[in-house]
Amino acid sequence: MHMAIAPFRLKATVTEDMLLAASDDFEARFVKTQDGIIKRILVKGVDAGGYADIVFFTDLEAIDRVVEAERTSEVCAAFFSIMDGDDEHRVYEVVKTYG
């Protein structure tokens, strides 16, 4: 199992309620249609209002497939348009889980 963490900030005109609505749409119309995604968590930093999308994947190939699908998805474009960020994500291999 692998996970990707994608940190971002909201654009100045975007509220958290707008983010949550866009995230729900992204989850329903894109994430749920992708093979290899196990779980997705949206988190908010306690300092300075940053956010991150944390996505768990079955393997590295799933990450590659999803990233490729994102490039041509209108749903993804709409979700990403409310964010400021460097479009970079960090990938980690899960070596052990607890609880």
Count of domains for the chain: 1
Q: Which residue has the tokens 């093979």?
A: 35
For 10-30, how does the pLDDT look when each residue is reduced to its tens digit (9 = 90+)?
999 999 999 999 999 999 999
Domain annotation covers residue 84: yes
Token pair recorded at residue 70:
């994102």
Q: Looking at residue 72, which CATH number applies to its domain?
A: 3.30.70.100
Domain annotation covers residue 16: yes
For 44-88, how does the pLDDT look when each residue is reduced to its tens digit (9 = 90+)?
998 777 999 999 999 999 999 999 999 999 999 999 999 987 668
Token pair recorded at residue 86:
């460097």
Domain annotation covers residue 15: yes
Domain annotation covers residue 57: yes
CB 76 within 8 A of CB 70: yes
3-state SS assignment for residue 30: coil
Q: Collect all residues with Cβ–Cβ distance below 8 Å to 93 and sequence separation of at least 6.
A: 1, 2
Domain annotation covers residue 39: yes
Domain annotation covers residue 99: no
Domain annotation covers residue 71: yes
What is the domain range of residue 27? 2-88
pTM, to two decimals: 0.89
User: What CA–CA distance (Å, rounded) separates 92 from 10?
Assistant: 24
